């Protein structure tokens, strides 16, 4: 049974059940404008999929869906519609995990890759004595996140693009659905022509990302990781990279959950790591 605190929060910010995004766009914007949004989104989805599948010259993996993310976050209304369709169940599951391990959150809390700030604001409300910082590449998503915090009248949260963040300034770090975007992945069409990758290469792919997380977090701080992986060699590669960067798994914190992600079903792994001894 879902925690009523989660249900109330999602209802308060406007997350609701949407079976078809196209229908919701027509209802929200009318036939003409909604139709334009549908056409634009279809084109952006096709372009993003092509970039992920075949690559895009020197465009890093992290930025191959940038135009799509910016479009979906062009306004709070559009962003919440998209989140309702793609992420409603995911947010419930993720928040259940965060509440279960709430005691690991304290001090300065960073949410890296925070998107439109739904989880960030939830953490800020849960921890009013902490300063919560959401870090996000998309200026549009940052604008939406700030609007959400304003609507909720939250004073202990801020949002910013990644830049010169102070080293070792974070007591608790949430990394939610960011590992794939930051790992050194090749285009999928290149992957399918190769044999299964060995654990050392999968670990190497995540090495730079793990080091960046380590640089942000104080010694004995905690990393809360929720990532879209099967419990397979790829996830083992992420865990090994984190271990090499000084992260130690907290026993009893691993949880796997699956949920509908738009039209697909996605599997996620949650785990808490302590930084250093």
pLDDT score at 106 = 96
- The number of folded domains in the chain is 1
CATH number at residue 179: 3.40.50.150
pLDDT tens figures, 14-43:
999 999 999 999 999 999 999 999 999 999
What is the residue range of 121's domain? Answer: 4-275
pTM higher than 0.85: yes
What are the pLDDT digits (tens) for 195-239?
567 888 889 989 999 999 999 999 999 999 999 999 888 899 999
Query: What whole-number distance in Å separates Cα of residue 156 and Cα of residue 133?
Result: 9
* DSSP-assigned states of every residue in the chain: ---HHHHHHHHHHT----S-HHHHHHHHHHHHHHHHHHHHHHHHHHHHHHHHHH--TT--GGGTTHHHHHHHTSSHHHHHHHHHHHHHHHHHHHHHHHHHTGGG--SEEEEET-TTSHHHHHHHHH-TTSEEEEE-S-HHHHHHHHHHHHHTT-SSEEEE-SS-PPTT-EEEEEEES-HHHHS-PPPHHHHTTSPPPPHHHHHHHTHHHHHHHHHHEEEEEEEEEEE---SSHHHHHHHHHHHHTTEEEPTT--EEEEEEETTEEEEEEEEEEEE--
Q: Is the pLDDT of residue 69 over 80?
A: yes
Tell me the per-residue pLDDT of 107-158, one tens digit each, with 9 for 90 and over: 999 999 999 999 999 999 999 999 999 999 999 999 999 999 999 999 999 9
Percentage, residues of the chain above pLDDT 70:
90
pLDDT class for 54, splitting at 50, 70, 90? confident
């Amino acid at each position: 049974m879902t925690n009523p605190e989660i249900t109330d929060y999602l209802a308060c910010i406007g997350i609701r059940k949407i079976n078809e995004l196209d229908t919701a766009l027509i209802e929200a914007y009318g036939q003409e404008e909604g139709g334009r949004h549908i056409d634009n989104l279809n084109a952006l989805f096709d372009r993003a999929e092509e970039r992920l599948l075949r690559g895009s010259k020197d465009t890093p993996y992290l930025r191959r869906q940038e135009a799509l993310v910016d479009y979906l976050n062009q306004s709070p209304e559009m962003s919440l519609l998209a989140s309702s369709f793609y992420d409603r169940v995911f947010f419930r599951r993720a928040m259940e995990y965060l509440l279960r391990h709430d005691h690991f959150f304290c001090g300065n809390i960073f949410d890296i890759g925070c998107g439109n700030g739904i989880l960030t604001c939830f953490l800020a409300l849960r921890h009013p004595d902490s300063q919560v910082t959401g870090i996000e590449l998309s200026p549009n998503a940052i604008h939406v996140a700030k609007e959400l915090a304003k609507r909720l009248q939250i004073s202990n949260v801020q949002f910013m693009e990644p830049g010169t963040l102070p080293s070792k300034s974070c007591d608790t770090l949430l990394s939610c659905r960011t590992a794939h975007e930051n790992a050194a992945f090749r285009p999928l069409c290149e992957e399918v022509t190769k044999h299964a990758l060995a654990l050392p290469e999968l670990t190497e792919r995540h090495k730079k990302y793990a080091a960046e997380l380590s640089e942000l977090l104080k010694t004995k701080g905690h990393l809360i990781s929720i990532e879209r992986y099967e419990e397979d060699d790829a996830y083992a590669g992420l865990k090994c990279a984190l271990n090499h960067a000084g992260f130690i798994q907290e026993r009893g914190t691993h949880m796997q959950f699956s949920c509908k992600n738009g039209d697909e079903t996605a599997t996620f792994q949650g785990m808490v790591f302590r930084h250093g001894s």
